[in-house]
A and B are shown apart, each in its own frame.
Chain A
Amino acid sequence: MDRRKVDVVLTTVLIIISLIILTSDQLVEGGAETDLGSMFLPRIVAVLMIIFSATIGIQSLKKLLQQKELEDKELIVTNGYGGIFIYIGIFIAYWLLVPVFGFIVTTPFVMFSVALLLGGRNWVPITAVSVITPILIFYGSSQFLRVFLPTWSL
């Protein structure tokens, strides 16, 4: 994938966001008056963002139009992205399921699937690690950290 195209799109989006920050008064609510005011710094940052985004965007656009050869770091390698989506999916499922099934029950499945995704096939040690680690973390954090991870709540 050509990063220069991404640059153009991304910087355009950022410039639009910055323009909204500069012009909209809906983004801030309540509060008292001070010398600086609530929107002073955000607006300064917005102006800076427009400048830097424009610099990057225009450079990339120029290179695109001149059809310059792609440099190493401008090439985004996209193979293996399927795994990333699966991983993010696993994490979202983890987030949804922990409040319901609790930490100790959910975590082994998550660890097991991540190990599987990474190509682990040594079933016995992987299962052992997936079961023991969450138990250790659960008791460790409740005994030493006094953090009580979510438990089964059905």
Chain B
Amino acid sequence: MFDNLLSGFSAILAVGPILGIIAGVIIGIIFGAIPGISGIMAIAIILPLTFYVDPIIGITMLLAVYKAGIYGGSISAILINTPGAAASFLTAVDGNALTKAGKAGKALDISLFSSVSGEMLATLVLILVAAPISAISLQAGPIEKVFLLLFAFTVIGTLAGESIPRGLLSCCLGMLFAMVGMSTITGASRFTFGYTELMAGFTFTPMLIGILVMPEVINVIRRRKVPHHEMMITHSPKPADNRISFKEYRSVFATIVKSSGIGTFIGALPGLGSSTAAFIAYGEAKRTSKKPEEYGKGSVEGIAAAESANNAVCGSSMIPMLTLSIPGDDVAALLMGAFLIHGLTPGPLIFFEHTETIYAIFAGFLITDLFLLGIAKSGFRFFVKVASLRRYYIFPCVTVFAFTGAFTAGQNMNDILVLIAFTIMGYSMRVFGLNPAVFIIGFILTPFLEQNLDQALAIVGTDYHLFFASPFSWVFIALSAFFIYSSLRMRKKATSTPQEKAV
């Protein structure tokens, strides 16, 4: 295997692949960092271009766009508090708090280091133990997935911020909105009130922009009378506040490893996605942290947990795709298309039939991480400068990007209306203390829950005991119970300390 990997490195270290990776990383960071425009859009567009180049170049380039795009979202989240995905919502909360305290450099550093670490670890898992992991993930059928999802909902509900009922209510609202439109299972149209436009439900991208990005624009508008220097990104004079020292990195390294593990596991199970991984890892890190009260107020550890889990999903979503030809999410589906068009049929045989190509691609994955580290790091100064511009330059642009992003998703003007409606709703949710990211996760996971629940019922029939026949089910039931117990205890501790009296 190591011979293969070495020859892979020699194949990838040529002008073509390296240029492809550099271009991919730059495109990905830019697309990811612009609020309202996402990396997956770039991948769909670049896909046909890669028909004509060598698969080593084409596929590593697409993957570079994917990885850099997921990371890029955290830049705008940290600097101007506009998370481009539910996964970077957590990064925005802690990262922007650090930025406001003059520690933007620290936040950017830790998010980059933990992103790259998470990706590296997941890629190593992919290279070394892909096959056994995918065998485990095959064991998770519809019944097991129902329990896994219930566990995910439990974790998300318990760390939903201000109060548990408010968090759970946000989640329920997200679930309700997800059920608008035509059900893919029964073909029935629900809550459409006779409008064909609603048959597809709410378009995800404009809704995401409205709920997560736009409230910050509104917030800036509301505070438009506050003088510029009070809202500007400050730069702490202490150099230690603007970087992550090796010691700090080492102190969160355990969190990064654990979160990457969570991310890798979630990524290997098709369908759950990076937001779920980020939330579960964040919740777990907070639960076991020595300083849980810092979470949400600028915790370096929190950023590390969310970002490493989020990015680990990138690498590990390749596991089911490559070993079982099952794409884990829509990006993996696009990448699988790229593999197929190049005549590389994903599956266990790919490792024997196309050994050279596949190991060159693996080597490319690892090299992409290094390039991402280098390119993103050298761009920080520029990003901070852009974000320090006066707000009447930044936010008109964000407005236009939001408009463009919402339009490009389906090239449909109705989506702009969706954007406006959810902008109002997203801001209102913030005002009323509901959690927008939990809303989004509820929205993402619901179709998945409904599909698996329906399948589980069809499989079980009338033998309800089958629901509890698999050890997987018991593991997740036990985990959920443990999580509820431990977070209740944590809340009790928090209420007994004087400064956190409100629950």
A and B touch in their complex, CB below 8 angstroms: yes
Q: Cβ of B179: which chain A residues have Cβ within 8 Å of it?
A: 41-42, 45
Cβ proximity bits B431-464 to A, threshold 8 Å, 1 near / 0 not: 1110000000000001001100110011000000
Complex partner residue of B392 from A41, A92, A118, CB under 8 angstroms: A118
Given A94-B403, A115-B396, A120-B392, A84 and B176 contact (CB-CB distance below 8 Å) = no
Query: Do residues B222 and A83 form an inter-chain contact, with CB atoms below 8 A?
Result: yes
Complex partner residue of A49 from B169, B223, B400, CB under 8 angstroms: B169
Query: Do residues A56 and B413 form an inter-chain contact, with CB atoms below 8 A?
Result: no
- Judge whether A36 is part of the interface by a CB distance below 8 angstroms: yes
Query: Do residues B186 and A149 form an inter-chain contact, with CB atoms below 8 A?
Result: no
Q: Cβ of A16: which chain B residues have Cβ within 8 Å of it?
A: none
Query: Do residues B403 and A83 form an inter-chain contact, with CB atoms below 8 A?
Result: no
Query: Do residues A36 and B457 form an inter-chain contact, with CB atoms below 8 A?
Result: yes
Output the nearest chain B residue to A92 by Cβ-Cβ distance.
B420
Complex partner residue of B433 from A3, A55, A79, CB under 8 angstroms: A3
Q: Cβ of B401: which chain A residues have Cβ within 8 Å of it?
A: 137
CA distance A66 to B432 in the complex (A): 21
Output the nearest chain A residue to B170 by Cβ-Cβ distance.
A52
Q: How many A-B residue pairs have CB under 8 A?
A: 185
Query: Do residues B186 and A33 form an inter-chain contact, with CB atoms below 8 A?
Result: yes
> B319 to chain A: closest CB distance in Å?
30
Query: Do residues A36 and B454 form an inter-chain contact, with CB atoms below 8 A?
Result: yes
Q: Cβ of B413: which chain A residues have Cβ within 8 Å of it?
A: 95, 98-99, 150
Query: Do residues A114 and B502 form an inter-chain contact, with CB atoms below 8 A?
Result: no
- Judge whether B172 is part of the interface by a CB distance below 8 angstroms: yes
Q: Cβ of A150: which chain B residues have Cβ within 8 Å of it?
A: 413
Q: Cβ of B417: which chain A residues have Cβ within 8 Å of it?
A: 95
CA distance A73 to B162 in the complex (A): 9
Complex partner residue of B458 from A7, A34, A92, A115, CB under 8 angstroms: A34
Q: Which of B391, B400, B423, B432 has the most CB of A within 10 A?
A: B400
CA distance A114 to B220 in the complex (A): 11
Q: Which of A94-130 touch B at CB < 8 Å?
A: 94-95, 98-99, 107, 110-112, 114-120, 125-126, 129-130
Complex partner residue of B221 from A3, A56, A94, A118, CB under 8 angstroms: A118
Interface class of chain A by DSSP: helix
Query: Do residues B187 and A87 form an inter-chain contact, with CB atoms below 8 A?
Result: no
Given A42-B176, A81-B222, A83-B224, A48 and B186 contact (CB-CB distance below 8 Å) = no
> B456 to chain A: closest CB distance in Å?
9
- Judge whether B393 is part of the interface by a CB distance below 8 angstroms: yes
Output the nearest chain B residue to A85 by Cβ-Cβ distance.
B221
CA distance A126 to B399 in the complex (A): 15
Query: Do residues A84 and B218 form an inter-chain contact, with CB atoms below 8 A?
Result: yes
Query: Do residues A119 and B188 form an inter-chain contact, with CB atoms below 8 A?
Result: no
Q: Cβ of A27: which chain B residues have Cβ within 8 Å of it?
A: 190-191
Q: Which of A46, A55, A71, A92 has the most CB of B within 10 A?
A: A55
Q: Cβ of A31: which chain B residues have Cβ within 8 Å of it?
A: 183, 186-189
Q: Cβ of B407: which chain A residues have Cβ within 8 Å of it?
A: 147, 149
CA distance A137 to B420 in the complex (A): 21
Q: Cβ of B162: which chain A residues have Cβ within 8 Å of it?
A: 73
Q: Cβ of A48: which chain B residues have Cβ within 8 Å of it?
A: 168, 172
- Judge whether A88 is part of the interface by a CB distance below 8 angstroms: yes
CA distance A10 to B403 in the complex (A): 29
> A151 to chain B: closest CB distance in Å?
13
> A81 to chain B: closest CB distance in Å?
7
- Judge whether B192 is part of the interface by a CB distance below 8 angstroms: yes
CA distance A49 to B431 in the complex (A): 19
- Judge whether A154 is part of the interface by a CB distance below 8 angstroms: no
- Judge whether B408 is part of the interface by a CB distance below 8 angstroms: yes
> A80 to chain B: closest CB distance in Å?
4
Query: Do residues B188 and A35 form an inter-chain contact, with CB atoms below 8 A?
Result: no
Q: Cβ of B186: which chain A residues have Cβ within 8 Å of it?
A: 31-34, 37-38
Query: Do residues B450 and A118 form an inter-chain contact, with CB atoms below 8 A?
Result: no
CA distance A95 to B458 in the complex (A): 45
- Judge whether A65 is part of the interface by a CB distance below 8 angstroms: no
> A147 to chain B: closest CB distance in Å?
4
Query: Do residues A28 and B189 form an inter-chain contact, with CB atoms below 8 A?
Result: yes
Q: Cβ of B458: which chain A residues have Cβ within 8 Å of it?
A: 34-35
- Judge whether B395 is part of the interface by a CB distance below 8 angstroms: yes
> B388 to chain A: closest CB distance in Å?
15
Output the nearest chain A residue to B401 by Cβ-Cβ distance.
A137
Query: Do residues B188 and A36 form an inter-chain contact, with CB atoms below 8 A?
Result: no
CA distance A114 to B165 in the complex (A): 37
Q: Cβ of A10: which chain B residues have Cβ within 8 Å of it?
A: 432
Q: Cβ of A52: which chain B residues have Cβ within 8 Å of it?
A: 165-166, 168-169, 172
Give the B-binding residues of A (Cβ under 8 A).
3, 6-7, 10, 14, 21, 27-39, 41-42, 45-46, 48-49, 52-53, 55-56, 59, 71, 73, 76, 79-81, 83-84, 87-88, 91-92, 94-95, 98-99, 107, 110-112, 114-120, 125-126, 129-130, 133-134, 137, 141, 144-150
Give me 18 other A-B pairs in contact (C-beta within 8 A), A36-B450, A80-B222 excluded: A10-B432, A33-B186, A34-B186, A34-B458, A36-B185, A56-B165, A59-B165, A71-B502, A76-B431, A94-B403, A110-B399, A114-B395, A117-B224, A119-B392, A125-B393, A129-B393, A130-B396, A144-B45
- 24 A-B pairs, CB-CB below 8 angstroms? A14-B169, A28-B188, A29-B188, A36-B185, A38-B185, A41-B450, A42-B190, A49-B173, A52-B169, A73-B162, A73-B433, A76-B431, A80-B222, A91-B399, A95-B420, A114-B399, A115-B393, A118-B220, A119-B224, A126-B393, A129-B397, A133-B397, A137-B404, A147-B404
In the A-B complex, the 7 residue pairs with the smallest Cβ-Cβ separation, listed nearest first, are A31-B188, A120-B392, A80-B222, A31-B186, A111-B396, A118-B392, A35-B457
Give the A-binding residues of B (Cβ under 8 A).
41-42, 45, 162-163, 165-166, 168-169, 172-173, 175-176, 179, 183, 185-192, 217-218, 220-225, 390-393, 395-397, 399-401, 403-404, 407-408, 411, 413, 416-417, 420, 423-424, 427, 431-433, 446, 449-450, 453-454, 457-458, 502
